[in-house]
Structure 1
Amino acid sequence: MDSWVRMLFLFACIVPALVECRVRHYKFHVVQKNTTRLCSSKPIVTVNGKFPGPTLYAKEDDTVLVKVRNHINHNVTIHWHGVKQLRTGWSDGPAYITQCPILPGQSYLYNFTVTGQRGTLLWHAHINWLRSTLHGAIVILPKRDVPYPFPKPDKELVVILGEWWKSDTEVVINEALKSGLAPNVSDAHTINGLPGIVSLANCSTQDVYKLPLESGKTYLLRIINAALNEELFFKIASHEFTVVEVDASYVKPFKTETILIAPGQTTNALLTADQKSGKYLIVASTFMDAPVVAVDNLTATATLYYTDTLASSPTVLTTPPPRNATQVANNFTLSLKSLNSKMYPANVPLTIDHSLFFTVGLGINPCPSCKAGNGSRVVAAVNNVTFVMPTTALLQAHYFNMKGVFTADFPPNPPQVYNYTGTPPPASSQTTNGTKLYRLAFNSTVQIVLQDTGIIAPESHPVHLHGFNFFVVGTDVGNYDPKKDPKKFNLVDPVERNTMGVPTGGWTAIRFRSDNPGVWFLHCHFEVHTTWGLKMAFLVDNGKGHKESLVPPPKDLPKC
């Protein structure tokens, strides 16, 4: 942006009566901060010393400028999860995909426009496991004088669900990679950074988040799951939610007592203070219906209280769903439908140029140095390809036509057809390694069926696609049937998301239009699965003319 234009916008922000400010400026200082949680005092990585980090506010169609300066000894990138980044892939943030990391002592200016989106999203570190503490909310408000398509709330509140780790998460994952086995799980879940009433061996804490309500008023809760590895149930004693938006896309409102939210997902829900004055328990607990997977079993708690409540009032309790409450999870997921109104239509692609079938799951590869794993290590793969991270950012390699960084031959189907969710398993559980991309022409229509596999064990997979929203047109358990299952697809009002769940031992089908040039990551948002290689990327070519082409890289783009 030219200096005189920047000065004009800054003047407009100072004198808002002249023109609405459409440029939002933020400074993110990535720093270490000492903190005490769950009886452990340790420094954690934060933005501006806050955990969770600061909330980024913008309006639809605003330009957002975030200067990120790295003051720690780790490399850093920040991903604006769910922001479509139309033609601005340089600001998307995944390390070695769209940019090289910001080195210690260096800075980078993220510059993007929030186009055609409104709602709640998430920002987080996108390198190694730093997002365990390096995360925060993105709140995108509608344009001026554009109302919500639901009753206007009296107040809005951000609720971030996360995890607390006594150990340094970088040490946790590095030890796991060295051993070849699964990493340890977190020590507790958190609600807005606090675990609630939690007891561990030789440790107890009373760090409880408190949510004040006034009787008769309605609140919009902007709920975010920033946990590394676990889907979570969210519930408040004696209260009911009205869900109105997920992943910054409006949905047909529906009522529910329990919300299911996977890592990276967001949910906006109306909550009316319609109960007797008092205190009510808030809980966040794990959903995992794969019995062989270790999870953090501790339930995070918080307290909702009416402002006229006496201090001595008892707390109304509630019980979270069982960890394996698949039906509760399905009831929530299947209730999600796009609003599909005249103002917010569901433009589902009805004809498909690329029909892709991706198996997602685990494997075992040789690792002579992995003594704990008996010479093997657990890996993850898409279509049996365990993704190898490059040492040069893929978007830079594409833009500058660098050779030898990646190949554009990612397979559209798995190399072997077998009973993906049953027996017998394939002859080998070994995967191949590669940095492979799948190429799409600009404005192509794409359908991907993601099929969980049970080679090692069936698991759920919250899969996130960068650069696009997509429509979830179908999901079910068992093996996908290409003849029968498409007849059941919802092509009228399917939910629009950026992160969707592939159910344990099942499949999910999505559709989108490749109208955003660049290199766009697709990966499981369980950080352990991403680390093991459950990821790939799409290369979307430029279209015709300037408005359908990737913008040139900024001058301060970090170098590898």
Structure 2
Amino acid sequence: MLARPYFTGQGTFDNTTGAGILEYETSSNSTTFTPTLPPIDATNVVANFTRKLRSLASSQFPVNVPQTADKKFFFTVGLGNSPCPKNQTCQGPNGTKFSASVNNISMALPSSALLQSYFFKKSNGVYTSDFPSFPLHPFNYTGTPPNNTLVVNGTKLVVLPFNASVEVVMQGTSILGAESHPLHIHGFNFYVVGEGFGNFDPNNDPKKFNLVDPVERNTVGVPSGGWVAIRFYADNPGVWFMHCHFDVHLSWGLRMAWIVLDGTLPSQKLPPPPSDLPKC
């Protein structure tokens, strides 16, 4: 068995091939061969593979994918830059600092824990609930980047009603180079209902969504130079982080958070912290 990482970004990356031998106890002989692996940046190979993934979709394993969406979001996901802090040397374009963002919002770490601030209703000065549902300044996302690629820093969240059906289209951008971003959501599994290359077409692409047997995941790769669409039910109250799983992109601000409100039943409400919860 051979395995190779998939990577579309620029810079140094360990492209070592991993190898292993699977040997059966009853086997009397074995054959060793070396398959030809695709290149490390084989985006089309990855896309053709992931599009084939399906849920089991049976009476034993029902697929509870939302057929409609109460809340729809369109998020651009990618890189950008911000002014270089004083007395520092930055390696971004024209001496700027590399940044990353969702809908051009590069998430600044809060002064207090988000969940604690939300539960005790002390959000003032910690976060705001005005994260944009769509890009404030649309552009050709996978074409020539705009002249201004500066990001906005802030701690902005999205508020969702309990059990709302949610659709999120995550659009990769070509700013400072197009690359795949593995996006992970805490607190939920979601269904991958569609993906494609280029700019998402809101009129035609949703007609091709798979709402029958889409794969269920908690992390999905936004295709390099493309988009991916997910759906889920907001049935887990609390504050939940969504972020790129590349550590450097996470540290650059490619992250945001959702607030899911309480439901009406006791089991649908965010419980208080335990009495013995250690304090920082």
- TM-score in same-fold range (> 0.5): yes
What are the equivalent positions in structure 2 for 1:398-413 lying under 5 Å apart?
Answer: 398-402=118-122, 403-413=124-134
Structure 2 stretches lacking a partner, 5+ long: none
Structure 1 stretches lacking a partner, 5+ long: 1-235, 237-282
- For the 8 Å contact 2:191–2:231, the answer to whether it is kept is yes
* Equivalent position of 1:556 in the other structure: 276
* Equivalent position of 1:305 in the other structure: 23
* Equivalent position of 1:364 in the other structure: 81
Partners of 1:486 and 1:512 lie apart in 2 by: 15
Q: Which has the higher contact order (CA 8 A, sep 6+)?
A: 2
SS in 2 for 1:510: strand
Q: Is 1:415 matched up with 2:136?
A: yes
* Equivalent position of 1:540 in the other structure: 260
How far does the alpha carbon of each residue in 1:516-553 deviate from its partner, in whole angstroms, 9 at most, with x for none?
10001111111111111100000011010311101111
Give the TM-score normalised by the residue count of structure 2: 0.92
Partners of 1:309 and 1:345 lie apart in 2 by: 38
Q: Is 1:341 matched up with 2:58?
A: yes
Structure with max Cα Rg: 1
Quote how far apart the aligned CAs of 1:401 are.
1.2
What are the equivalent positions in structure 2 for 1:1-150 lying under 5 Å apart?
Answer: none
Partners of 2:15 and 2:64 lie apart in 1 by: 40
Partners of 1:350 and 1:326 lie apart in 2 by: 29
How far does the alpha carbon of each residue in 1:321-380 deviate from its partner, in whole angstroms, 9 at most, with x for none?
221222321222011111111121111112211110000000011113442526421110
Q: Is 1:513 matched up with 2:233?
A: yes
How far does the alpha carbon of each residue in 1:475-528 deviate from its partner, in whole angstroms, 9 at most, with x for none?
000000111111111111111111111100000011111111000111111111
- For the 8 Å contact 1:366–1:377, the answer to whether it is kept is yes
* Equivalent position of 1:444 in the other structure: 164
Partners of 1:323 and 1:470 lie apart in 2 by: 27
Q: Percent of pairs identical after alignment? A: 53
SS in 2 for 1:305: coil
- For the 8 Å contact 1:381–1:533, the answer to whether it is kept is yes
Equivalent in 283, 286, 295 of residue 5 of structure 2: 286
SS in 2 for 1:458: coil
Equivalent in 99, 106, 109 of residue 389 of structure 1: 109
Partners of 1:327 and 1:413 lie apart in 2 by: 27
* Equivalent position of 2:48 in the other structure: 331
Partners of 1:499 and 1:326 lie apart in 2 by: 17
- For the 8 Å contact 2:193–2:211, the answer to whether it is kept is yes
Partners of 2:168 and 2:31 lie apart in 1 by: 50
Q: Which one-letter code corresponds to 1:409 in the other structure? A: D
- For the 8 Å contact 1:384–1:414, the answer to whether it is kept is yes
Q: Is 1:427 matched up with 2:144?
A: no
Partners of 1:314 and 1:446 lie apart in 2 by: 49
Q: Which one-letter code corresponds to 1:377 in the other structure? A: K
What is the root-mean-square deviation of aligned Cα atoms in Å? 1.9
SS in 1 for 2:79: strand
Q: Which one-letter code corresponds to 1:288 in the other structure? A: F
How far does the alpha carbon of each residue in 1:163-183 deviate from its partner, in whole angstroms, 9 at most, with x for none?
xxxxxxxxxxxxxxxxxxxxx
Partners of 2:190 and 2:196 lie apart in 1 by: 18
How far does the alpha carbon of each residue in 1:451-498 deviate from its partner, in whole angstroms, 9 at most, with x for none?
000111101011111111111111000000111111111111111111
